[in-house]
Amino acid sequence: MFAAGVIYRYCMELTNIGTIKDVMERNGVSFTKSLGQNFLINPSVCPKIAEMGGAGPGKAAIEIGTGVGVLTKELALRCDKVVAVEIDERLRPILAETLAEFGNIEIVFADILKTDVTALIREKLAGYDDVIVCANLPYYITSPVIMKLLEERPPIRSVTVMVQKEAAERLCAAVGSRECGAVTAAVNYYSTPKMLFKVGRGSFMPSPNVDSAVIRLDIPEKPRYTVRDEALFFRIVRSAFAQRRKQLLNPLSAALGIDKDTLRNILAECGIKPSARPEELKMEEIVALCDKISGIK
Ligand code: SAM
């Protein structure tokens, strides 16, 4: 089923197990577990990621990890241009076959963690002011990829990614709730996270032993929060949430080298009880705390 505006073209059915096995076998490629190669075989998932990720006419998409091109194709059907970054060179002849119908896809064979995404957009997507990122991320690099895309601030509007279900729940937890961790606070600093939908393990080949979920991080044009010293903000978040069920005072005092009495006063000035636990903090309180501490440093 195609939504309005989606151009229908004849192309290979890339969620068909027989098609995937055939194209891989003919090219002598087997699944590599260490690269997180669990390919989607549920035909309803990729169209949904593309639609809910904001793919559409006039837009450009960056994909991370093509596999045999199942999501790449759905993005190319909807967006003007797709640039995909894939680490596994063995997939080159496969993608040349599976995506042969498309003239609007460019695949860059590289490690996303070593790729300058801002430069990639400048070189390959000049003129597009609406760039989205969509991916079924390999589990082993979920957090580093998300944090890289947020911290480096490339000109992108949103990041829509499939991740392990537990990671999705942590990323989309409310700051100030029991589920909140360092990554929740970090992601909320740059974006507004939203849980989109869950995907069971049976939707992949080979089937992983965990379930997944798709989340979207909307990145505002102007930063959601600003602090005087960003590095300090992330140091506070990391050290506070390293022991998120414990009281804030001790780990923070040790990590920042501030004596407990001074820190108690700073917390009070920010309206935070010295007995507070990191998981109880609101974003505004962490921001206020950071600015107060940067004032004495
Ligand atoms: N998009 C396909 C799908 O949904 O079926 C494949 C998703 S599979 C979970 C992850 C893909 O990311 C694999 O194709 C893998 O080779 C690729 N990959 C793994 N590590 C990568 C990295 N560091 N940079 C770029 N791609 C990577």
What CATH number is attached to the domain comprising 78? 3.40.50.150
- Under the banding of pLDDT at 50, 70 and 90, the label for residue 110 is very high
Share of the chain above pLDDT 90, in %: 90
DSSP code of residue 279 = G
Same domain, 178 and 117: yes
What is the position in ligand 1's atom list of the atom closest to the CA of 85?
A: 25
Residue 196: strand, helix, or coil: strand
Say if 260 falls within a structural domain.
yes
Backbone φ and ψ for 226, nearest 5 degrees, come out as -130, 140
CA 137 to ligand 1 centroid distance, Å: 6
Same domain, 41 and 172: yes
Residue 45: strand, helix, or coil: helix
Contact 39, 65 (CB under 8 A): no
Same domain, 82 and 199: yes
The answer to whether residue 8 scores a pLDDT higher than 60 is no
What is the position in ligand 1's atom list of the atom closest to the CA of 38?
A: 9
The pick from 39, 90, 204 for probing ligand 1's pocket by mutation, whose C-beta has the most ligand atoms within 8 angstroms, reads 39
Residue 19: strand, helix, or coil: helix
Total domains, the chain: 2
Same domain, 173 and 264: no
Contact 201, 209 (CB under 8 A): yes
Using CA of residue 89, residue 92, residue 94, residue 99, what is the dihedral sign?
positive
What average pLDDT does this structure show over 10-36? 93
Say if 267 falls within a structural domain.
yes
Q: d(Cα 187, Cα 118) in Å, to the nearest integer? A: 19
Is 39's C-beta closer than 6 angstroms to any atom of ligand 1? yes
Residue where one domain finishes, among candidates 193, 218, 243: 218
Same domain, 237 and 262: yes
What average pLDDT does this structure show over 238-266? 91
Same domain, 136 and 249: no
**Predicted pLDDT at 1:** 46
CATH number of residue 262's parent domain: 1.10.8.100
Is 112's C-beta closer than 6 angstroms to any atom of ligand 1? yes
Same domain, 125 and 248: no
